[in-house]
Structure 1
Amino acid sequence: MFSKHLLYLSGDQATVYRWRRGSLTQGPSFANDAAGIDAFMDYAETRSASPWYLLADLIEEDFQRVTVPHVRGGAGRQLMARRVLQQYRETPFRHHEIQGRETAGRRDDIVLLSALTNPGSVLPWAEALEQLQRPLAGLYSTTLLSEDLVRRLNLRDAHLLLVTQQSAGWRQSYFQNGMLKFSRLTPAIDRDGNPVNVGAEVAKTQQFLTSVRLMARGSMLHAVVVTPAAASSAVDAQCEDGPETTFDFLTLESVAAAAGLATAGAPLEQLAGHLAEPALLVLLARRRPASHYTLGPLQRYFRLWRARVSLYALSAALTVCCLGWTGANLWQEHQASADTVRLNTEASQFDLRYKTSMAEMPPRVTSTANMRAAVTVERMLATQSASPLGMSAIVSQALDAAPDIRLLQLDWKVDVPGANLPQPGQDGTQAQPISSLVAGIPARAPQVLTLEAEVLAAQDDYRQAVDSMSRFAQALARHPRLTVEIDKPPVDTRSSVRLAGKAGTQAAAPEHAKFTLNLVWRP
């Protein structure tokens, strides 16, 4: 992964650390004044353009607990922003954290507000990085970062006071059921940096927590003191358990092992002596959380750096995909070439075997092309040649639906255009050649079927005969591509035909009404 620059800010100085490949390396320290900031700019200008992470451990860090109406969505975010701005107007470095809801009433949100009330201790360092166009990833608080450390150490006491010695003094952070409620920074060290009056400072903190009703009287406060192994005996002598206070001591080595903060380089206690800040720096470098305090425009170069890294990553991914695609195409081309050679070899062998087999066969009657053409013509005749079976099937279906119609005669033929016209130069006595349309070449020809039938009705019931013929003709006309024409109806009512007969006389042999239909089927 990319290397990171970590800047630990305290009240009087700033110390640079570098994180690379799981190893934390301590760099130079700079005084918190104009000369120190100039020296820091000279140092940062020679470093790589890796992101910078600012970890602040300042006494001017305020914490307030408020209740806010429970509102979701954009309106809730706007309400929270106004509430934080109302609480801390004099500083741009503000933070809020929702820690649950009240159990009674309208169940408002319980919110922890915090801010760095003296922005002048942070702004010069952030503006120096912006002037050098270095990416500033975020501004973090040791107190807020210790919440993750408590979860990693699995400290689940209802009233927990985490005490750590850092550059600015002893940091005492109070947690209630795992949630941060209050923090204070006390000197409690002598001129040589040795701890003094740690137990007394813890007692003052407990008295304050009781006065502001964060703890009820009689509640037990569990104080966890993180010290290096060499200083644990001195701190232990200053801390005595009381009726409402118990002390537990953890070494930096055990904290690093339990929280998974061991580094690949020097141990944590060798980086800053007896201080606990390297453990928090390792936690920050590995987690890379979102910035605790808002930076606004001071974070623009980090956004540009992140966009550039994303573009580089996307370009690398596209390059890998293109290389993979090119490799796959080259491999397929190689396989295709090998298959081509194999197929050409097999084709040559098949040609040789074919020629050998054909040489042993007797002389052919015709060529292979003519035989193939004959097979093609035979298949075309079988599928496209004209046949009366199709129209006979249609007539059969109509007769099944008309039991009073009896078929007398069928006359089927193929309607070939120009079949009866003599060809130029041909004798009239010679037979006309058969057209290829009869065989369905190149397409099927129309077919004509003349149907003669009679109606099995009473001898003088001509109306029933006409109706039966009409129903029969309509049933045939429903078939697609079939045209029905009445050539001779059962009763000829044309004006040019004489209508004669005798009513009421019985013939020797009863005659039924006959009719003739012309059916034309067009493909």
Structure 2
Amino acid sequence: MATDNTPVRILVDLIEEDFKKETIPHVGSSDRKSIVSRLIERHYRKSKDYVHYNVVDRETGGRKDDVLLYSVLSNPEILEPWLKPIQESNTSVSGIWSLPLLSEKLFKKIDDKTRNVLLVSQQVPSNLRQTFIKDGKFESSRSAVVNLEDATIGEYIALEVEQTIRFLSNQRHIGFDEKIEVHIICRDADLQEIQSRCIDSAMRTFHYHELETVTDTLGCDTQPANNDTSNTVEYSNGIYSYVCASQIIPIGHYGNRSLFAKFYEQLISKTLYTSSAIMLLISFVMSFSYLSESAILDNEAATLITQKNGVNNDYERTLAKLKPKLDKTQVMQSSVLLTEKIKQTKILSPQNFMVDISRILTRSGMYDTEITKVSWQQHQSKKMPASNNNRNKATTDYARADDINQHAVIGGYIRVSQSSLKESVNKVNSIVSAFKNNKLVHDVIIKRMPVDVRSKSSIENESGVEHQNDLNSDKEKGQFEIELIMKGRES
């Protein structure tokens, strides 16, 4: 039956595991790693991938060096019979943990107040593990082979405890006069025998923890599912396996990266899968949010459209009621505008025009000028009429915004007999200039000038005395005609 490639955790309890303390200079993490690598290379050439270390203290005097505690598998080849099949089967391995190093975490579940603790446990019938924990921190550990043919388990534990305490004193983990609290994890069947051999003294006190009590404290079940009653399952190996499996962060103590490559791949794959699932969930939530918001906006838009249609209907009904009044208002407005227009143009009259023209001609000194013809009409433009011969009155629309001006043609003659023809022409030009300089006049043109059929020399040599009495000649030769556009007098 195929199963998922669930990552496994390897827990090792080997006699070949050494624990030592070294004093090294106080340096950074990268330099410390180099120092440890050289230290292991010098003493354990094959164990570079099976080393775990921590800085546990720092000296108070001298250079204030770091106190380094490291554990190392002196013979890592002993793991080959297990690691090789695991790698060949492409099984995912999350880490390799040291059982003695996990004793610190186990004891915190049992008792975390004792200062100097020697934790004694038996994982298998042939092995006894003794771990020294000082102030809640791992210090050292010692493994011994158990041979029950020579002595009982109680005698063996009492003897090994004394040897371990002497070893710790020699290694300066404890002083020779320090008290040790010995905690023994044992089976219920061995409890009476161990208590009879391990006697309290002034320097050490024994405490006993039955396996069933410890499992209840940890909240784990170490009994096999198939009711196997072999001696192996009745020891504390199940307790340590539970502590190892309970590590939240799967970072072990030993092993190289290649051994955990499959686990890293699975971890990355699960991370990506989880991220994808989270992103998918977020996208669903956001999509639902957008859809909900869109539905709300659609409802609001429909409400606004309904309100707009209602307002438009009210407006149309109100406008329909006011339309007759508005029609009358438009007529009244046109009447008012027409009245204002007529009021503004009332000054446009022939009489006012003649008064203005007389002032202009008088100021220009035209005492010898005779005006024989004046034509006048209203003209709603500042430009000259297109047809000069059209004497019909132009149409005037008082409703238009264009100003209403005066269009006039002034004709007469100058007494040529009293001056030369050239002077007569100059007088006409003077009249035109006078009109142009007047602010009421928009435009002015000369339609006719004094003329003479004689040669140029005759005109230049003629004398005014010879033609004094020739009035008919003046009317014929001195005629002029001026056309102009002029606005009304300012009120």
TM-score, structure 2 as length reference: 0.61
Q: Contact 2:116–2:134 (CA<8 Å) still a contact in 1?
A: yes
1:82 paired residue number: 38
Q: For the residues of structure 2 that align with 1:339 and 1:286, how far apart are their CA atoms? A: 56
State the match for 1:463 in structure 2.
Answer: none
> Are 1:245 and 2:204 an aligned pair?
yes
- Name the CA shift for 1:350/1:240 in 2 (closer, same or farther; >3 Å): same
Paired position in structure 1 for 2:148: 190
User: For 2:242, which of 277, 282, 288 is the aligned residue?
Assistant: 282
1:317 CA drift (Å) = 1.1
Deviations 1:466-513 (A, max 9, x none): xxxxxxxxxxxxxxxxxxxxxxxxxxxxxxxxxxxxxxxxxxxxxxxx
Partner of 1:476: none
Inter-partner Cα distance in structure 1 for 2:2 and 2:180? 48
Instruction: For residue 182 of structure 1, give the secondary structure of its aligned residue in structure 2.
Output: strand
Letter in 2 for 1:341: A
Specify the alignment match of 2:107 in structure 1: 150
CA shift for structure 1 position 61: 0.8
**Partner Cα separation in structure 1 for residue 121 and residue 17 of structure 2:** 16
Match for residue 136 of structure 2 among 167, 178, 201: 178
Counterparts in 2 of 1:279 and 1:366: CA distance versus 1, 3 Å:
farther
Residue in 1 aligned with 2:256? 295
Inter-CA distance 350–62: structure 2 relative to 1 (3 Å threshold): same
- Which position in structure 2 is the counterpart of 1:332? 293
**Aligned mate of 1:123, from 80, 85, 109:** 80
Question: Which of 212, 216, 221 matches 2:180?
Answer: 221
Whole-Å Cα distance in 2 between the matches of residues 86 and 261 of structure 1?
44
Choose the corresponding residue for 2:26, options 61, 70, 83: 70
Matched ranges for 1:321-470 at <5 A: 321-361=282-322, 363-365=324-326, 423=383
- For residue 97 of structure 2, what is the aligned residue in structure 1? 140
C-alpha spacing 1:81/1:288, structure 2 compared with 1 (3 Å): farther
Question: Is residue 202 from structure 1 mapped to residue 191 from structure 2 by the alignment?
Answer: no
Cα displacement string for residues 433-466 of structure 1 (whole angstroms, at most 9, x for unaligned residues) = 999xxxxxxxxxxxxxxxxxxxxxxxxxxxxxxx
Contact conserved, 1:84 with 1:96, CA < 8 A, in 2? Answer: no
Alignment check: 8 A CA contact 2:215 2:222 kept: no
Q: For 1:145, what is the secondary structure of its paired residue?
A: helix
Matches within 5 A, 1:483-498: none
Residues 351 and 304 from structure 1, CA distance in 2 versus in 1: closer, same or farther, beyond 3 angstroms? same
Give the counterpart letter for 2:106 in structure 1.
L
Question: 1:230: Cα distance to partner?
Answer: 4.3
Q: Which structure 1 residue ranges, 5 or more long, are not aligned? A: 1-44, 371-420, 436-523
Structure 2 counterparts to residues 35-46 of structure 1, below 5 A: 46=2
2:195 maps to 1:236 = yes
Query: 1:234-271 CA distances to partner (integer Å, 9 max, x unpaired)?
Result: 3212211123221011223433444x44359979x989
Helix, strand or coil for the counterpart of 1:338?
Answer: helix
Q: Secondary structure at the match of 1:166?
A: coil
Q: Is the 8 A contact 1:165 1:227 kept in 2?
A: yes
Q: 1:73 to 1:245 in 2, by over 3 A?
A: closer
Structure-2 residue corresponding to 1:94: 51
- Structure 1 pair 236–188 and aligned structure 2 pair: CA distance change class (3 A): farther
- Matched residue, 1:164: 121
For 1:204 and 1:364, how far apart are their aligned partners in 2? 123
The separation in 1 between residues aligned to 2:195 and 2:257, in whole angstroms, is 44
Q: Going by fraction, where is helix more abundant, 1 or 2? A: 2
- Compute the displacement of 1:427 (Å): 10
- Kindly tell me: are residues 319 and 263 of structure 1, through their superposed partners in 2, closer, same or farther at Cα, counting changes over 3 Å? farther
Does the 8 Å contact 1:93/1:293 carry over to 2? yes
Q: Where does structure 2 lack aligned partners over 5 or more consecutive residues? A: 331-380, 389-393, 403-491
Which of residues 16, 20, 23 is equivalent to 1:60? 16
Which amino acid is 2:266 matched to? W
Measure, in 1, the Cα distance between the counterparts of 2:14 and 2:387: 126
Measured in 2, the distance between the counterparts of 1:253 and 1:423 equals 124
Q: What is the number of residues matched between the two proteins?
A: 338
C-alpha separation in 1, matches of 2:45 and 2:214: 38
Task: Give the whole-Å Cα distance in 1 for the aligned partners of 2:222 and 2:200.
Answer: 37
Deviation at 1:57, TM superposition (A): 1.0
TM-superposed CA distance for 1:298, in Å, is: 1.4
Contact 1:84 1:95 in 2 (8 A): no
- Letter paired with 2:135: N
1:175 CA drift (Å)? 1.9
The alpha carbon displacement at 1:134 in A equals 1.8
Quick one: distance in 2 between partners of 1:330 and 1:350?
30
Which sits farther off after the overlay, 126-135 or 79-88? Answer: 79-88
Q: Match for residue 310 of structure 1?
A: 271
User: Which sits farther off after the overlay, 71-80 or 318-327?
Assistant: 71-80
SS at match of 2:97: strand
- Does the CA-based 8 Å contact 1:139-1:295 persist in structure 2? no
Aligned to 1:474: none
SS of the equivalent of 1:122 reads helix
Q: Distance in 1 between matches of 2:288 and 2:228?
A: 51
Equivalent AA in structure 1 for residue 132 of structure 2:
Y
SS at match of 2:273: helix
Q: Is the 8 A contact 2:222 2:239 kept in 1?
A: no
| RMSD between aligned residues | 3.6
State whether residues 138 and 292 of structure 1, in contact with CA within 8 Å, keep that contact through their aligned partners in structure 2.
Answer: yes
Contact 2:57 2:67 in 1 (8 A): yes
Query: Which residue does the alignment assign to 1:382?
Result: none
TM-score by length of 1: 0.58
Shift of 1:195: 3.0
Structure 2 vs 1, CA of residues 117 and 105 (structure 1 numbering), >3 Å: closer, same or farther? Answer: same
| Distance across 2 between alignment mates of 1:231 and 1:347 | 93
